[in-house]
Amino acid sequence: MNAESDERKGVAATVAPVSAAGDGSKAERELGSRAPGFIRASRVLHLSWQVGIFIVGLAVVGAGIVMLPLPGPGWLVIFGGMAIWATEFVWAQLVLRWTRRKVTEAAQRALDPKVRRRNIILTTLGLVIIAVLVGIYVWKFGIAMPWKIEQ
């Protein structure tokens, strides 16, 4: 093994496993490269592996960014690209851990009975307002189809 991979393992070993909830109940994977051992053994091969992972992840993230305004699962594809980067880069692993923690916290907050009740009330109120506006429009202008079908 070379000094770089030994150094990387030392840094990864010093990171304490923490769960998504932050209470240490479920250990997460160590930070660092998940490349096969024979790839990490050669500095040139490992560097080319990292470049390849970066390019593939960049292409996936770029496709996700394009899908944001266009039809498609943009955010899902972006997080998929981040997951590809996280197989090799510590910064992407940390971003995904932070994102997972925030999504879990938001889901737990959304399941709170008070928050659910408020969301149901606001949704119902919004639907009533929309129904009233549509009713006023139909009463004022009638229902006119945009196509002309003569029978």
* pLDDT over 50 at 130, yes or no: yes
Q: What percent of the chain has pLDDT over 70?
A: 79
CA dist., res. 131 & res. 120, Å (int): 16
Q: What pTM was estimated for this model as a whole?
A: 0.52
| Three-class SS state of 76 | helix
Smallest CA-to-CA distance from 4 within 36, 40, 34 is with 40
For the range 93-100, what are the long-range contacts, defined as Cβ-Cβ under 8 Å and sequence gap of 24 or more? 93/31, 94/31, 97/20, 97/28, 100/20
Q: Is 147 exposed, middle or buried (0-12, 13-18, 19+ CB in 10 A)?
A: exposed
Please give the residue that has the higher pLDDT: either 43 or 13: 43
* pLDDT over 50 at 127, yes or no: yes
Tens of pLDDT, residues 31-59: 777 777 777 788 888 888 889 999 999 99
pLDDT band at 30 (very low <50, low <70, confident <90, very high): confident
**Residue that the structure tokens 């972006």 belong to:** 78
**Tokens matching residue 28:** 């997460």
pLDDT band at 11 (very low <50, low <70, confident <90, very high): very low
